[in-house]
Structures are given as structure tokens and as C-alpha cells.
Structure 1
Amino acid sequence: MEGCVQGGRWNKKAPVGTIGLLLLICMFIPIVTLSQPPKEQKCPDGDYRTDEGICCNKCSPGFKLVEKCHADGQRTNCTACPKGQYMSQMNSFHNCMSCRICKKRKNEIEISPCERHQNTICRCKEGYYKKHIDLETYDCISCSQCRPDEKEKQKCTPESDTVCECKENSYRVKRKCEPCKNCTDECKQHCSSLPPLNTKAPEKGGEHLVNVIAGVSVVAVVLVALGIVITHMTTKWYTKKRLQESSTQPSDDSSDSCKKLLVHNTQPSTTIDVEAVPQLSVSEQESLNLPDCVPLEVKIPELIYTVLDLVPVLQVKQLVRSLGVKDIEIEQAEFDHRSCCREAHYQMLRVWAETGSRTGGGGQGGMLHWPLLQELLDELRNMHLGRAAEELETKYGIQ
């Protein structure tokens, strides 16, 4: 400021242009100084800055916010979470979260009760494991049992299903375990316990004997194949003839003729208890290319309840949509059975079964044809519910 004023007076010796420049500088120095924002003070660890720019402390786990502080140095007013609620972290929330309730009907048990600072801890009961539907949702599913040709590699726990593997000297082909008969790529680890392959070349004196045995084997295979073809053609001709004869009889006798044919075409020692299938014409039987009078149907109510036991509740609507049930039919089922989710899901599956079944059977003793059951199995596997599909195949003897 000495350039502007000397001893309280203007410096008269300075040129006029210089005096003007100094006046401008003197005017802008305080403006620039005031325009610079003060450096923002960092809040201590664990505190947060409010909208007013004040550093307030957060409430501890088990407590919720009543009133935030109004000045630096003041403390936030917090209160404990009420019974049935909790808060598991430092927070500035006005409400605690509700405690979880373990659902016995969903096979859950409580291993730790809810406290102010932590939620209830639930797990699946013995014999069930947790199958996650998403990050937050899961179902407790019954532990899988290893098949007779498998052994248990890892026991079922509340967090994971049973892990099975093929027994010794066998390997997995699709879903079944096949015995190791030769040292193939799949059975290399078992080759030490298998008889070695005979790789030694036959002696000159035995070459003729080997050729004779090979020739006899080829002839035997050809004869067996020829016998199978003749037997098949004869059986088909005989069955077609019986169908033509039965088509001229009254409709009341069609089921009896079907039962007689079924008994005729099975071994004497085998007894099959099936529901009679409505008789098809010869042209329809040939177009299906299936054996005559094969039991192609299962009871719809029994099948639906089995599916509801196997498929997670939250995936039933996805399943029925993939089976072709319309959204309006799904909404109608939910509206008609608002008080019972299981009955609503039953109605959705019943709509699918009634629409696709040629028998037109409903929930009262209706029958479902094989093509619809196969469609159901395919959709279950598409939804990664292969275990449910396997359970149905086992129940109905599908190989």
C-alpha cells in the first residue's frame, strides 16, 4: 500500500498513470481475498457432515437417530431400537429394521434370536439345504439321496446339497454310472484294478481258429437281428388285426379289448395295473408310431401336488408361463385363491393340464398324456430344476 499512500497522503511524486493503476490494484486485492472459499474442515472418523455443514456423530449399532446435532461439538441424540427391531451398523437413520422370523413351514429353524444390534439368524433344519433364488431369497430343499450306483462324496449340510459320485470302477454317462469294462479315457484311474487287455498277437497256429470264431459270431448276430425283425413284424400284424376287429365292436368294449391286448403282449410273469386308455383308430396308432395300448397317462391331481412339492414357490409362476399358461389365467387363479398360494398354483397347473390333455380331464381323476409329461420334464430342466425332473422320472418309472 506504500505505492498508494505515504504517511496518510497520496504519493504526489508518482505519475498520474501509475497512481490510477495502483488504485485499481488496491480495490481488487480485498475482493480476490474474499472470493476464495475457506478450506472445508474434514469430519473426524465415524462422523458425517450434515446439509448445514456441521460434523455430527452417527448412532451406534442397536440405536436409531432421534435428533442430529446443531453445532460443532454437540452430540447426536440417539435412542435404542425397540423390541422386534434391530440396526446392525453405524447409522443416521430415524427407523430401525424389523427382525426376521424363521419359518417352520419352510423348514427353517432359529439358531440365534434377534437382538438390537443384529438380525435373527435362521438356517435350514436337518435333512434340508439352502438353495438360493437370488442374493436375498432362498428355499430349504430336501437333501438329495445318492442312487444305488453312486456313493456319497460329501454329506448334505444346511448350506449345500449332497454331492454324489460313481462307485469304484465306474464312470458317469449323462445321469447314470456305467461300469468300467476296459481301460478307456474315462476309466484310466481304475485301470490298475481292471484285467489288462489282451494285446498279444495270436500265434500262427491259432489264426484259423480265430477266423472261424469270428465268422460264427457274425452269423449269430445276423440270425438274432433277423429274428427280432420277424417277431416285430408278426406282433405288429397281429395287433393291427385285433384293432381292426375291435373297431367294429361297441365303444363300451374298447377298454376291455385294450386290456386284453396289453396282457397278451406282456410276459406271463408281469402284472401291470394301468388305467384303460381310450382306443385309437388304426391310422392314429400308426401315425403315433407307438406300441398299441401303452399306458401313456398319469393322474393329474397326483402329478400337480408332486410338482408343487418339488418346485420352489417363487418359480411356479415362471414354470406355468413357460408351459403356455396365459397371464390372465394366472391372475384369475391368484384372484380366486387369494388366501392360499398353494391352491392358486394348483389351479395354474390344472389349467395347463386341461388345455393340453386330449382326455379333457380336470382335477377330479383326470389323466395326463405322456407328451405333456415330457414337456413338463423338459421345462424343468430348462429352468435348472433337473433334480425335480429326476424325481418325477423316478416316481413314474421313466428311463
Structure 2
Amino acid sequence: MGLPIVPGLLLPLVLLNVLVGIHPSGVIGLVPPLMDREKRDSLCPQGKYNHPQNHSICCTKCHKGTYLYNDCPGPGLDTDCRECENGTFTASENHLRQCLSCSMCRKELSQVELSPCTVNQDTVCGCKKNQFRQYFSGKRFRCMNCSLCLNGTVNIPCQESQNTVCNCHAGFFPRENECVSCSE
């Protein structure tokens, strides 16, 4: 004879079963957090990843410039990787389901393309000669003209991500990296 069924209780029990998992320690609790999933994925050797449906299978990651089309069907069998289309890339070995879109250099921020996007490298943006990167909001930057140190001398030359540092002549003081006359 089976277990008694209480009307209206089946759906909550199914949902509870979905939410509850068994931790590696054997303690029952909520589904393991991301760090525990990362530990599980790290059971595969470098260059491989856990098959999403069968965690005892380690599939080979796709090379840069490719993406995962189908997981390996079993141990020792090849992962189906496809080459990225034009305008997309993957810069490292991966098991991404699609390639990443190439970045565009932002002309309104005076950026120029230093190297185009390829299937295994994103677009590299930078600044023209005699300009530096002024960063805002993480990796985002605008290109600014280097200070010329008028009424002063160059202490530190303009670099990729730093403006020129000037020493002002006598009778001048620094204001916003310009040497301004004390009589102003």
C-alpha cells in the first residue's frame, strides 16, 4: 500500500523537493550556492567542464574562437564546438552557448580602433597620439588631449592612462593641470 495523499499538498511537496538539495556534507538544505557549484565543476581537470546533465562526465572545453554547440555525449567523446561568426568572439577556452558580441570603439569619446575584433579577440580601443585615457565607470574611458605644460616644464610625460604632470614656472600655479598666472 502506498503513502497517503493529502489533497492540495502534492504541488507544495514537489516545489519543496526542487528547492531542497543535499550538500556535499550530507546536510539537507537549500540548493548549494554558486561557490559549491564551482567546487563541483572544479572536479574536472583543467580544460574540461562538468556535463550539465551528468556530473560524472567531464567534457572538453571549446578553444578560443569557438563556442559550445552540443555537450559531449559521453566520456572520451568530443564536445561539438562551432566557430564564432563575424562580429563575435571568445577570447579563451570556454563552454559558452554563444560567442560574445564584439565591442565598438566610441567615437563620441574620441576612441580609435587599435586592433579589430577577430573570432578569438575583442576589438581593442585606445586613443590617438598625444592623448590619454581618462577612466570612468570601470573599464570605460574617454580620450583626452595631453597637457602641453605651457608656462611650465614636463615633470612626468603623458602616458596611456595618465595626463602630463607639469611643474609651473615662477609666477604661475597649477590649476586643472594647466599653469595659470598668479596675477589672474
TM-score band, normalised by shorter chain: 0.5 to 0.7
C-alpha distance after superposition, 1:333-391 (max 9, x if no partner):
xxxxxxxxxxxxxxxxxxxxxxxxxxxxxxxxxxxxxxxxxxxxxxxxxxxxx729x79
Residue 164 of structure 2 aligns with which residue? 162
Per-residue deviation at 1:163? Answer: 1.4
Per-residue deviation at 1:139?
A: 1.1
Say which SS state the counterpart of residue 140 (structure 1) adopts.
strand
Check if 1:104 corresponds to 2:113: no
Q: Which residue of 2 aligns with 1:84?
A: 87
Deviation at 1:134, TM superposition (A): 2.9
Structure 1 Cα separation of the partners of residues 154 and 166 of structure 2: 5
Q: Give the TM-score, by structure 2 length.
A: 0.66
Q: Which residue in the other structure is 1:46 paired with?
A: 47
Name the CA distance, whole Å, in 1 between partners of 2:142 and 2:114: 17
1:70: how far off?
2.3
Which one of 115, 120, 139 corresponds to residue 123 of structure 2? 120
Q: Which amino acid aligns with 1:62?
A: G
Say which structure, 1 or 2, has more relative contact order (CA 8 Å, 6+ apart). 2
RMSD over aligned Cα atoms: 3.0
Q: For the Cα contact (< 8 Å) 1:89–1:117, is it kept in 2?
A: yes
Q: Is the 8 A contact 2:67 2:94 kept in 1?
A: yes
- Name the CA distance, whole Å, in 2 between partners of 1:44 and 1:106: 43
Larger radius of gyration: 1
Q: Percent identity?
A: 30
Mapping of residues 163-202 of structure 1, within 5 Å = 163-167=165-169, 176=173
Q: Distance between the aligned counterparts of 2:49 and 2:87, measured in 1?
A: 28
Unpaired runs of 5+ residues, structure 2, are 1-39
Letter in 2 for 1:176: F
User: Match of 1:151, SS?
Assistant: strand
Whose helix proportion is higher, 1 or 2? 1
> What letter matches 2:63 in structure 1?
S
Deviation of 1:137 after TM superposition, in Å, equals: 1.0
- Aligned twin of 1:70: 73
The separation in 1 between residues aligned to 2:135 and 2:93, in whole angstroms, is 28
Q: How many residues align?
A: 141
AA aligned opposite 1:127: N
Which residue of structure 2 lines up, in the alignment, with residue 333 of structure 1?
none
* Higher fraction of strand: 2
**Aligned equivalent of 1:387, options 172, 176, 181:** 176
Q: Would you identify which runs of 4 or more consecutive aligned residues in structure 1 move more than 6 Å?
A: none
Contact 1:58 1:91 in 2 (8 A): yes
Asked if structure 2 preserves the Cα contact closer than 8 Å seen for 1:107 and 1:128, the reply is no
Q: Which amino acid in 1 is paired with 2:46?
A: D
